[in-house]
């Protein structure tokens, strides 16, 4: 009966393994199923309005809110049809009210036939500084519930300078799986999963799609006020601020390098001490043998000299991501700026 | 009293969205308008839908829903109050006055916004009204919905978004969020506008169009708004600016290389 029992355990273990692999495959399929995000212009207007409203109240706000919509599996498209804003979680009671608010809105929207499924959240950013641990945590929480959830980032500064900027992100699959197990990564984990700062987040292309009636409405409200913001010369303080952000990001990376250096030195020192102690023991034992005494046991010194814990690599990954995003932004700005300068030149000469 | 109203695009968009999702039994949809008052103007900023049923004889709406959601919205969007209500379709009948009476309890002069989703006049007309009492006191009384002027306004960011959606209307293809493409479309827009103006000027010069003094004065303003500096200063300014930008681009390129090297550390640790 012991053999039978062992066989049963083996079979269930095998079944469980195959179940896990199908679950993993299924998860991967869901993760990769969304190729594109379609947003209605209504949602974009709401996000811009919310951001503008908060901007009028304070100088550097972070707005966030919930996106609602549905998944169109045939076309691999996530449609975002509605959104509502949330309050900033600065006070504890705000978090409670936010939760109540979300539940209440869900219930009420059902009554008016609006899609009530939460497909992600939106957040506004200031010169691409949104990419921090909080953001990662939020994305992870939404992804856990629904594998197709996305995070939409809106850049109000860039929009003010004339280029509407809306992007959608989600965690890449290896990053998601890793974060599920460990809250902080080590270098070996990163190597095993071949994670670099470039494939931490995955960007999904965003398209704007409206129903026919909304398009008619847009025609009606056409040309109310022309915006010439797009053609402003690149002389504003935008470039200055971006450079400052870049510098602070580089500072962080520098500090991280120093930490790594320190860590390496500590590890080396530990190993040296360990070797020294082992040598000392050997010499002592040789001495004792000469004296005719019993040799001392060669203790396992590794327990006493535990190596310092490996450094968490999540923060440096995030800051590298931020710096790369800053560089991209600045390059884009510079390229357009050169074009605009030539344009201004042709006017003035 | 003349009330001018400013409206942001969102509320009308909400009406359209609401209308599309209505139950088949309802011929029209209603909802609450939120906004604030500002020295004789009503600014409508947001709106939300309210479930209601309407037949030829009777009308009913979920007042508790309206109150509840109104309170919630006020908590999140501070300094927004109920300023009126909207409905789809341009018909205003006694049901409207009933609903209007409900909103009169919530704010002193509710505004009624209608969006014509059935294109009675070949386009989607948007109207705003307020109701004034008419009739003989003590005799038959009623109220009349008088139209009020409105303008559509928005902040800079919203104007940019609207301009961005311009590409959507005609060819139904989604415009790209690429910065360069947006710049390109803006440039082509400007070019077409310049061509238009040039055309007009040529026609006036050749005598085929009667010159308009007001237009001429505005054109003068535009031409004079270009700063009139000598070529040396302009070239110096532009060159130094160009050098700044190129230096910054070089720096970012360097930073990227550094970052790639830094990323290799994780492989070595």
Global pTM reads 0.80
pLDDT in tens, A59-107: 556 778 888 888 887 778 888 888 887 776 565 566 677 777 788 877 8
Q: Tell whether the model's pLDDT for residue B8 goes beyond 60.
A: no
| Chain A, chain B: beta-carbon pairs less than 8 Å apart | 251
- Tokens in use for B118? 């059935």
Cβ count within 10 A of residue B246 = 12
State whether residue A69 sits within 8 Å of chain B by CB.
no
> What confidence category does residue B165 fall into, taking pLDDT thresholds of 50, 70 and 90?
confident
DSSP code for A223: T
pLDDT in tens, B115-163: 777 776 666 677 777 777 777 777 676 777 877 777 776 677 777 777 7
Q: Tell whether the model's pLDDT for residue B2 goes beyond 50.
A: no
What CA–CA distances, in Å, run from B123 to A194, A216, B8, B26?
Answer: 57, 8, 19, 22
Q: Cβ B13–A334 below 8 Å, yes or no? A: no
- Tokens in use for A237? 């303080």
Give residues with Cβ within 8 angstroms of A200, minimum separation 6. A171, A172, A175, A317, A318, A321
Question: Least CB-CB distance to B263: which of A320, A326, A336?
Answer: A320
Q: Tell whether the model's pLDDT for residue B97 goes beyond 70.
A: yes
- Measure B55 CA to nearest chain A CA, in Å: 18
Q: Which residues of A touch B22 (CB under 8 A)?
A: 113
Q: Cβ A343–B157 below 8 Å, yes or no? A: no
State whether residue A166 sits within 8 Å of chain B by CB.
yes
Q: Tell whether the model's pLDDT for residue B46 goes beyond 80.
A: no
Q: Tell whether the model's pLDDT for residue A124 goes beyond 80.
A: yes
pLDDT computed for residue B53 by the predictor = 77
> Higher model confidence: residue B174 or residue A42?
A42
pLDDT in tens, A202-242: 888 888 887 777 777 777 766 555 566 666 666 667 788 88
Question: Least CB-CB distance to A165: which of B177, B234, B253?
Answer: B177
> What confidence category does residue A153 fall into, taking pLDDT thresholds of 50, 70 and 90?
confident
Give residues with Cβ within 8 angstroms of A22, minimum separation 6. none
Q: Which residues of B touch A39 (CB under 8 A)?
A: none
> B54: closest CA among B22, B85, B84?
B22
Backbone φ and ψ for B12, nearest 5 degrees, come out as -65, -40
pLDDT computed for residue A179 by the predictor = 82
State whether residue A253 sits within 8 Å of chain B by CB.
yes
- Sheet arrangement for strand A36-39: A201-204, A166-171, A150-154, A118-124, A64-72, A77-86, A36-39, A206-208
What CA–CA distances, in Å, run from A59 to A51, A156, A172, A219, B154?
Answer: 11, 12, 33, 34, 19
What CA–CA distances, in Å, run from A221 to A162, B10, B154, B177?
Answer: 19, 11, 11, 22
For residues A288-315, average pLDDT = 71
Share above pLDDT 90 across residues of chain B, in percent, rounded to a whole number? 0
Q: Which residues of A278-311 are buried (b: 16+ CB within 10 A; e: fewer)?
A: eeebeeebeeeeeeeeeeeeeeeeeeeeeeeeeb
Task: Specify the range with the lowest mean pLDDT, choosing from A94-98, A110-114, B41-45, B237-241.
Answer: A94-98
Q: Tell whether the model's pLDDT for residue B13 goes beyond 50.
A: yes
Task: Specify the range with the lowest mean pLDDT, choosing from A275-279, B24-28, B80-84.
Answer: B24-28
For residues A325-341, average pLDDT = 83
Q: Which residues of B touch A168 (CB under 8 A)?
A: none
pLDDT computed for residue B24 by the predictor = 56
Strand partners for B30: B50, B87
The per-residue pLDDT of chain B, averaged, comes to: 75
Cα radius of gyration (chain B): 27
> What confidence category does residue B4 fall into, taking pLDDT thresholds of 50, 70 and 90?
very low
């Amino acid at each position: 009966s012991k053999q039978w029992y062992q066989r049963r355990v083996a079979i269930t273990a095998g079944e469980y393994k195959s179940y896990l692999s199908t679950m993993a495959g299924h998860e991967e399929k869901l993760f990769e199923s969304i190729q594109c995000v379609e947003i209605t212009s209504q949602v974009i207007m709401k996000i811009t309005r919310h951001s503008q409203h908060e901007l009028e109240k304070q100088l550097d706000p972070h707005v966030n809110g919930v996106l609602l919509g549905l998944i169109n599996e045939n076309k691999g498209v996530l449609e975002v049809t509605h959104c509502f804003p949330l309050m900033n979680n600065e006070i504890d009671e705000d978090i409670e009210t936010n939760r109540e608010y979300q539940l209440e809105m869900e219930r009420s929207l059902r009554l008016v036939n609006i899609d009530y499924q939460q497909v992600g959240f939106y957040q506004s950013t200031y010169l691409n500084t949104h990419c921090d641990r909080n953001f990662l945590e939020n994305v992870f929480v939404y992804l856990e519930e629904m594998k197709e959830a996305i995070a939409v980032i809106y850049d109000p500064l860039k929009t003010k300078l004339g280029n509407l900027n809306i992007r959608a992100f989600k965690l890449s699959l290896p990053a998601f799986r890793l974060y599920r197990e460990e809250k902080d990564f080590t270098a070996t984990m990163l190597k095993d999963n071949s994670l670099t700062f470039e494939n931490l987040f995955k960007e999904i292309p965003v398209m704007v799609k409206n129903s026919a009636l909304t398009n008619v409405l847009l025609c009606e409200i056409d040309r109310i006020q022309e915006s010439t913001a797009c053609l402003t010369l690149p002389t504003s303080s935008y470039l200055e601020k971006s450079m400052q952000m870049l510098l602070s990001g580089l500072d962080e990376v520098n500090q991280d390098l120093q930490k790594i250096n320190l860590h390496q030195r500590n590890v080396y020192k530990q190993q040296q001490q360990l070797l020294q102690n082992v040598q000392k023991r050997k010499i002592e034992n040789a001495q004792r043998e000469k004296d005719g005494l019993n040799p001392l046991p060669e203790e396992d010194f590794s327990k006493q000299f535990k190596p310092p814990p490996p450094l968490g690599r999540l923060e440096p990954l995030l800051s590298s991501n931020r710096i790369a995003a800053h560089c991209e932004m600045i390059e884009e700005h510079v390229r357009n700026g050169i074009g605009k300068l030539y344009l201004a030149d042709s006017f003035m000469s | 009293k003349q009330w001018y109203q400013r409206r942001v695009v969102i509320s009308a968009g909400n009406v359209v969205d609401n209308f599309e999702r209505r139950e088949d039994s309802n011929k029209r949809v209603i909802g609450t308008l939120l906004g604030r008052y500002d020295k004789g103007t009503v600014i409508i900023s947001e709106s939300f839908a309210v479930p209601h049923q309407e037949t030829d004889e009777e009308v009913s709406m979920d007042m508790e829903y309206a109150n509840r959601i109104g309170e919630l919205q006020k908590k999140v969007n501070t300094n927004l109050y109920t300023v009126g209500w909207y409905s789809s379709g341009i018909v205003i009948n006694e049901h409207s006055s009933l609903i209007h009476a409900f909103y009169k309890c919530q704010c002193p002069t509710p505004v009624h916004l209608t969006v014509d989703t059935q294109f009675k006049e070949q386009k989607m007309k948007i109207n705003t009204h307020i109701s004034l009492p008419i009739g003989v006191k003590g005799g038959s009384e009623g109220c009349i919905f008088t139209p009020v002027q409105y303008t559509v306004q928005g902040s800079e960011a919203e104007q940019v978004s609207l301009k961005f959606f311009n590409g959507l209307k005609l060819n139904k293809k989604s415009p790209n969020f690429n910065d360069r493409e947006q710049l390109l479309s803006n440039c082509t827009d400007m070019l077409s506008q310049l061509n238009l103006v040039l055309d007009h000027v040529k026609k006036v010069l050749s005598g085929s169009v009667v010159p308009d003094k007001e237009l001429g004065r505005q054109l003068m303003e535009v031409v004079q708004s270009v700063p009139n500096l000598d070529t040396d200063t302009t070239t110096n300014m532009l060159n130094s600016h160009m050098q700044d930008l190129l230096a910054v681009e070089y720096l970012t390129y360097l930073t990227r290389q550094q970052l790639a090297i830094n990323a290799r550390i994780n492989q070595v640790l």
